């Protein structure tokens, strides 16, 4: 929306399209690790815990670097940050095709690609938040649905490439695609609408209802002094812990029960596909209901899906798991930046989303290795999935007790409702 009225075209929609495409390519390829899992295990040997560790290391690095990427986005905008990160991702997959030892797997996937991935959540979602007041939840949901769409498309694509060629050629193809398209899409990003003389969509006609008074935003230093900051960190730790075991181990778990590799890959694709619905639906619902209720609902669904996985033995049962789990996963992803802006405003949204993302990745880094170890010891993933279900319930309890922070103006203190 321009300063003088509604323009014929609002550039924020270009931001949404570019950010969506980058989510598709960045996270879709990253989450294809489970499809390559058996090939990497066969190539280099070792345990499942050791192979899973590369993905876990990548999550940790991506999470930590997401804090830095978010802070740089607050200062410089997402175009510069995402361009650099796109370069890292594309080169990382090209180098993955050349690895000859496990330490190279950790270096290229766990460090180089992970640094690149850090530019595809906090920078993009915080940028969208700056462009939209009205429809912020819906537009954020659309952008993060790119993660689910990427999983839906790229996981089966990777599986077919591996079958037709081999895993090395598959990484070369993915590397070329991501390098070209990520760098191209990043050039359309702009930090905020004021750069081109527009206002955020709906700012001149909507008083956004949020969980906190919007008279003044919280700085990062103020936010970390609130218990709400640490509660959201804990909630997203639980989410990451519960999510990543399934993302890494659901394909080998299903194949171990006699399901074909191609069908097992479609389970992962189903998780990604249904997560698109969850991201858009829960993002839009948060505009009306607020982030807290949506967080609670999504965590209940995630826990229920993981309990159901204890019983799953046939393909249809795995598809049902994928539908419920994917919806919850998508909703929780969309709510991360929305809960941040509702609680703490826009002043430090990039670095705050980065911090919550780091908490998510700490949980996500621990669980795949733990689950791989549990399988190595017990020969089954059942205990691992049960632990994840319980952790998701803990996150739900934390979300139920989440209340908005309130600044006591004039006293330099923070209090809570």
Q: What is the pLDDT of residues 150-205, one digit of tens each?
A: 877 888 888 888 888 888 999 999 999 999 999 999 999 887 787 777 877 776 65
- Asked if residue 412 belongs to a domain, the reply is yes
Distance of alpha carbon 197 from alpha carbon 287, whole angstroms: 26
Number of structural domains in the chain: 1
Which SS3 state, helix, strand or coil, does residue 413 take? strand
Q: For residue 45, what are the contacts with CB-CB under 8 A and spacing of at least 6? A: none
What is the number of other CB atoms lying within 10 angstroms of the CB of residue 311?
10
- Asked if residue 2 belongs to a domain, the reply is no
Pairing of strands 405-408, 413-416: antiparallel
8 Å CB contact between 202 and 327: no
Q: How far is CA 296 from the centre of its chain?
A: 18
User: For residue 255, what are the domain limits?
Assistant: 12-416
E strands in 258-412? 405-408
pLDDT at 213 over 80: no
Average pLDDT rounded to a whole number, residues 118-122: 85
- Asked if residue 209 belongs to a domain, the reply is yes
Which SS3 state, helix, strand or coil, does residue 407 take? strand
- Asked if residue 183 belongs to a domain, the reply is yes
Q: What is the CATH number of the domain that holds 404?
A: 1.20.1250.20
| pLDDT bracket for residue 93 (50, 70, 90) | very high
Rg for the chain (alpha carbons), in Å? 20
- Asked if residue 4 belongs to a domain, the reply is no
202-214 b/e with 16+ CB inside 10 Å = b? eeeeeeeebbbee
- Asked if residue 1 belongs to a domain, the reply is no
Predicted structure pTM score:
0.73
- Asked if residue 243 belongs to a domain, the reply is yes
What H or E segment, with its residue span, contains residue 120? none
**408-413 — which CB contacts under 8 Å span 24+ positions?**
409/216
The mean-pLDDT minimum among 27-36, 45-54, 60-69, 400-409 falls in 400-409
State the pLDDT at residue 180: 94
């Amino acid at each position: 929306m321009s300063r003088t009225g509604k323009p014929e075209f609002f550039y924020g929609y270009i931001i949404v399209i570019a950010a969506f495409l980058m989510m598709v390519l960045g996270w879709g390829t990253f989450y294809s690790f489970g499809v390559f899992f058996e090939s990497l295990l066969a190539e280099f040997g070792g345990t499942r815990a050791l192979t899973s560790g590369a993905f876990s290391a990548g999550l940790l690095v991506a999470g930590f670097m997401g804090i830095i990427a978010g802070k740089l986005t607050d200062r410089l905008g997402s175009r510069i940050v995402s361009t650099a990160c796109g370069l890292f991702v594309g080169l990382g997959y090209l180098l993955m095709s050349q690895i000859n030892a496990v330490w190279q797997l950790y270096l290229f996937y766990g460090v180089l690609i992970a640094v690149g991935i850090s530019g595809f959540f906090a920078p993009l979602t915080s940028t969208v938040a700056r462009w939209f007041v009205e429809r912020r939840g819906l537009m954020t949901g659309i952008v993060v649905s790119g993660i689910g769409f990427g999983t839906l498309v790229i996981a089966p694509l990777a599986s077919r490439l591996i079958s037709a060629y081999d895993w090395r050629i598959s990484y070369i193809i993915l590397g070329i695609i991501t390098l070209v398209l990520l760098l191209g899409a990043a050039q359309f990003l702009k930090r905020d609408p004021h750069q081109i003389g527009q206002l955020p969509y709906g700012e001149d006609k909507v008083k956004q209802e949020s969980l906190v008074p919007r008279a003044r935003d919280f700085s990062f230093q103020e936010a970390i002094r609130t218990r709400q900051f640490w509660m959201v960190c804990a909630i997203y730790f639980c989410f990451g812990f519960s999510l990543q075991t399934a993302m890494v181990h659901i394909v080998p778990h299903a194949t171990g029960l006699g399901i074909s590799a191609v069908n097992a890959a479609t389970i992962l694709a189903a998780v990604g596909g249904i997560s698109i619905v969850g991201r858009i639906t829960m993002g839009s619902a948060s505009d009306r209901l607020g982030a807290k209720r949506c967080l609670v609902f999504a965590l209940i669904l995630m826990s229920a899906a993981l309990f159901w996985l204890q019983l799953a033995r046939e393909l249809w049962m795995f598809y049902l798991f994928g539908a419920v789990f994917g919806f919850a996963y998508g909703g929780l992803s969309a709510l991360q930046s929305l809960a941040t802006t509702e609680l703490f405003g826009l002043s430090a949204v990039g670095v705050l989303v980065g911090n919550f993302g780091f908490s998510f990745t700490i949980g996500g880094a621990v669980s795949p290795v733990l689950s791989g170890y549990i399988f190595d010891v017990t020969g089954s993933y059942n205990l691992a999935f049960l632990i994840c279900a319980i952790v998701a319930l803990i996150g739900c309890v934390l979300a139920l007790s989440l209340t908005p922070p309130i600044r006591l103006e004039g006293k330099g203190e923070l209090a809570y409702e």
